[in-house]
Amino acid sequence: MRIACLLPAATEIVCALGLRESLVGRSHGCDFPADVASLPALTRARVDPSLPSSRLDDEVRRVYSTGEPLYLLDEERLAALAPDVVVTQAACEVCAVSYEQVTAVTRRAVPAANVVCLQPSRLGDVLDDVRKVADACGVGARGDALTAALRRRLEASRRVRPAVPGVAVIEWLDPPMLAGHWVPDAVEAAGGRALGPAAGQPSPYATWDEVRALRPDALVVAPCGFDLARTRREAEPLAPTLRALAPRVLLMDGNAFLNRPGPRLVEAVETMASWLDGRSVDGHRACALPHRL
């Protein structure tokens, strides 16, 4: 079995299923486990991700408005690797190479490959995707076991609190965006009351006044695609604004945990649950790196 994963969450799922040695190619964004960096990258971004938030948002919107793809897929390299399974997504064209692009290129490069498309919009969908990948790779029993283990951890994270805190999650800082899709479910699983878009809905742009009107008890800042160090850099100039929005503010490595619909999303739930309990969160842990402002 030869597997190519074209989004980071899929790579994490494949490795969590014990199939690391079957991976032959990855996306440019796949970075966990760390040793996948040695695999050939099959995609690249057409927009420089190191741009400041506002410029990055403008550039993504500009490219998207032209109808051109935000990511390029290396057809020759894909053909040379000849995977049996190609895992892609149809949840967000801004986050990874599009499903339509993958199917067109794969049809030409490796017509016999099985294209597996993930399209999660809720937390439950993420767990279902683990089974979906496992079945496509012929390890259905492992998928059942991993899904059951993740569900047990989610249940262990659930809290019953006398007063359920309202939690708003910021998915982008400039301009502000409120996190949708599976994030509201993750907040609820951590024992909070999700403020903003309903679970399963896209992440909308918002003004700081609109965030303030939600009256959050707690604010989680986890910009999509940013690690903790970059989140801290981007949030620092906005610290007074963020502090004024809620009594408690948490910075999180959104790229690794909350924005990525893979197994480590459960770690994001565990981290938020601990933080909402008032317990300190170890900012130096490799799997969960929250910091308070």
- Judged by average pLDDT, the poorest of 179-193, 242-256, 257-271, 276-290 is 276-290
Q: What are phi and psi of 163, to 5 degrees?
A: -125, 115
- The alpha carbon dihedral of 264, 268, 273, 275 has a sign of positive
Query: CA-CA distance, 142 to 201, in Å (whole number)?
Result: 30
Query: CA-CA distance, 171 to 205, in Å (whole number)?
Result: 9
How confident is the model at residue 137, as a pLDDT? 97
- Rounded to an integer, the average pLDDT of 273-278 is 90
How confident is the model at residue 278, as a pLDDT? 85
CA 100 to chain centre: 20
Q: Which domains does the chain have, with CATH numbers?
A: 3-119 (3.40.50.1980), 161-292 (3.40.50.1980)
- Judged by average pLDDT, the poorest of 60-69, 129-138, 244-253 is 60-69
- Judged by average pLDDT, the poorest of 14-23, 93-102, 180-189 is 93-102
Angle (nearest 5°) at CA 109 between 108 and 112: 85
CA 205 to chain centre: 18
Query: CA-CA distance, 1 to 86, in Å (whole number)?
Result: 11
Cα maximum dimension of the chain: 58
Angle (nearest 5°) at CA 71 between 75 and 252: 130
Q: State pLDDT tens for residues 158-200.
A: 887 888 999 999 999 999 999 999 999 999 999 999 999 999 9
What pTM, to 2 d.p., does this model score? Answer: 0.92
Whether 45 shows a pLDDT value over 90: the answer reads no
Query: CA-CA distance, 133 to 58, in Å (whole number)?
Result: 34
118: β partners? 89
Q: What is the 3-state secondary structure (H, E, C) of 19-35?
A: CHHHEEEECCCCCCCHH
